[in-house]
Chains A and B, each alone.
Chain A
Amino acid sequence: MQTWEQQKYLSKLPDAKGAAYNDRLWEYEDHCLPDTRVELRQKIMDWFEDPNGEYIFWLNGMAGTGKSTISRTVAWELAEKKRLAASFFFSRDHGDISHAGQFFTTIAAQLTRSLPVLRPLISQAIQEHSDIWNQRLSEQWKYLILDPLKNAPAQSIQLVVVIDALDECDSTDDIQMILKLLAQAKCLETIQLRVLVASRPETPILLGFRNFPRERYQDFVLHNIPPPIVNHDISIFFRRKLSSVKSEPGLSTTPWPGEPIIQRLVEKADGLFIYAATIYRFIRDDNYTPEDQLSVILEDHNTPPQSPTKHLDDMYTKLLQQSVVGSQIVRVDDHLAVRFRNIVGSIIILFDIMAAKEIAKLLHVRTIATTLASLRSVLSVPEDEDQPVRIFHPSFRDFLLDSHRCLDSRFLIDPKEAHITLFRNCIMVLAELRQDLCNLREPGVSVGDIPEHIIQRYIPAHIYYACRYWFHHFQLGNPIQEDMDRILRFLAQDFLHWLEALSLIREVSNGVLIVADLEMTLRVS
């Protein structure tokens, strides 16, 4: 096959947006500081260099123990050594990387770049199995990855696939299937494929590993590292990061904020790196002096009974009280808090990420920039307005949705309320659709003949989102009677416009499933 012909086939491979460790999406994420996590990083390097090492390394850790930062650092180090085969960073709120649908095709696409000898083999596989991306995961794995690696010209080497946050993949069946398939890498002899998996210790993953013989994988439990080692690393982080916040040249020789305070912060962090990283972003906030922010954090609270997340929850609470409402006095009707729940509540349950401008349009508010600006320690809000808003860490979402953890009711998000609000907003967006949205005029125009930029112009992100997800929000919300009226009005006025839009964004099959589920849901409610 000619090179151009290979390229033609390879370009068809679905390549999930945001999956790779170095994707633009992760631009401002931290790497491990030098001198931190030393032992663990060494252990990982030893593992993949060892020709007799296990096939899978499972980095197992609770929320906030630093898994993603380690994965990112290791992926980068492996790439420097030219030993990274591929990386896939799952994230539950991002379309393509919240599910397994494009997992193997993305790994295959990255393999064609990291190991060019595979290009002819993988393009051949695509030619022979047209539509492979619609086939089962086991087929995708076999034809796009396993067979090409088996048949590649001999070159004895161990390469690593880094998979982060596997627990954020939306289907537990798929998680177990992925683990089961990856374990087949054992049969590879010349090019050996090793897999580094980072995840929370959640049941489907525990079960997935339980099916493996012990000699196939090695695991490492982050939350079981002895506290002195973790505390040492966290204190390095605080010392280095905080002294950069406030350097007063010539005034003092001891760096701010001083060792006793650093020790208090380390104690509060209680082994969680996310605590340290969030505090750092909070103290750095330009609208306040670092001393004021620090004193808010250090203030001791009457805290409820002990729980493993007590310190973290306490920190999130203080941070929101300071940044959102500027007070600890609870008044639930506070309009700032209402705005917070509307905007942040939506952001944490959206099925896909969007830029701030697009979220504002979806929520029918003029702008959300002011609310977001006060939340830069927990939300990643890019200067570039076209880049998506993200939450920095899933523990923030967990916190907001849990009434045992988020004790200030002004910030507590009721997911059912948030879903139904989004449903109503989606339905309002769909009511703005009209016949012949793209001004095609000719009824016979085929969807393949419409340029992509035209479709994107007339179906911007918030309309796209509403078309795809209105029903999912309805299903997860707690509808009242008026919501049923909304559905009837939608069917009577906008149904065909919606079908036209689905055709333009090539989501008609999803539409079929939505309408079937809708009928079923109505029948049983």
Chain B
Amino acid sequence: MKGVMLNRKGKLGVCPRLLEFADDARQFILHNRSIIEMAPLQVYSAALLFTPEASIVRKQYLKRIPWILMEPKVMQKWSPLIQILNGINGHASQINTVVFSPDGKLVASASDDFTVRLWNPATGGPCGVLQRHLGRVTAVVF
């Protein structure tokens, strides 16, 4: 498994396999961030099992999980949907507005659960909750 090919100028070249692997690793961690954050060993079960068929990470590691007899049916490729802002660690109700901050470093979501939540768009991680509203929040601007 060679990671690098020398290109004509003698500069380092990166082989397609390494690039594909890195891209797949990025998808893997983005899609599974919240479950991995909660439970370390879910890396090898929930995260891996529900990873799309075509994923390199899945192909590379799934064979190492001895106790799985039948794998669940999963999608072929990574879905463009990376994260859902309600549910566990998110809003408890419908979301009405989502907006980026002017500098692009923050995302705010306003919900019927009476809160506004802030998110880091680079990691998907939560950055805070504004919870002093006394009613459904229908709009939010920076």
Cα distance, A137 to B120, chains bound together (Å): 15
Size of interface on B: residues with Cβ below 8 Å to A? 47
Assess the B40–A512 pair: CB atoms within 8 A: no
Q: Identify the interface centre among A485, A499, A504: most chain B CB within 10 Å of its CB.
A: A499
Closest residue of chain B to A129 (Cβ to Cβ) is B128
- A488 touching B21 by the CB < 8 A rule? yes
| CB 8 Å contact bits of B17-41 with A (1 = contact, 0 = none) | 1110111011001100100111111
Partner among A444, A492, A502, A515 whose Cβ is within 8 Å of the Cβ of B39: A444
Which of A500, A509, A513, A525 meets B41, CB within 8 Å? Answer: A500
Q: Are A489 and B1 in contact (CB under 8 A)?
A: yes
Q: Which residues of B contact A435 (CB under 8 A)?
A: 44, 64
Is the pair B128, A487 in contact by a Cβ cutoff of 8 Å?
no
**Are B18 and A522 in touch, CB under 8 angstroms?**
yes
Structural contact, B122 and A503, CB atoms closer than 8 A: no
User: Which one of A24-32, A159-167, A225-233, A476-484 is at the B interface?
Assistant: A476-484
Q: Bin chain A's interface residue count.
A: 35 or more
Does any Cβ of A come within 8 Å of B98's Cβ? Answer: no
Chain A residues closer than 8 Å to B22, beta-carbon distance: 487, 491, 515, 518-519, 522
A496 at the interface (CB under 8 A from B): yes
Partner of A488, one of B18, B40, B42: B18
Given the interface pairs A130-B129, A484-B3, the reply to whether A443 lies near B21 with Cβ below 8 Å is no
Task: List chain B residues, Cβ under 8 A from A445.
Answer: 39-41
Binary contact track B116-142/A, C-beta < 8 Å → 1, others 0: 001010111111110110000000000
User: In the complex the two chains form, is A499's CB within 8 Å of B29's CB?
Assistant: yes
For the complex, is B94 an interface residue (Cβ under 8 Å from A)? Answer: no
A511 within 8 A of B: yes
Q: Which of A438-496 contact B (CB under 8 A)?
A: 438, 440, 442-447, 450, 479-482, 484-489, 491-492, 495-496
* A364-407, CB < 8 A from B: none
The answer to whether B41 and A484 touch across the interface, beta carbons within 8 angstroms, is no
In the complex, B69 has a CB within 8 A of chain A:
no
1/0 contact trace for B41-57 toward A, CB 8 Å?
11111011000000001
Q: Nearest chain-B residue to A498 (Cβ)?
A: B43
Residue positions of B touching A, CB distance < 8 A: 1-4, 6, 12, 14-15, 17-19, 21-23, 25-26, 29-30, 33, 36-45, 47-48, 57, 60-61, 64, 118, 120, 122-129, 131-132
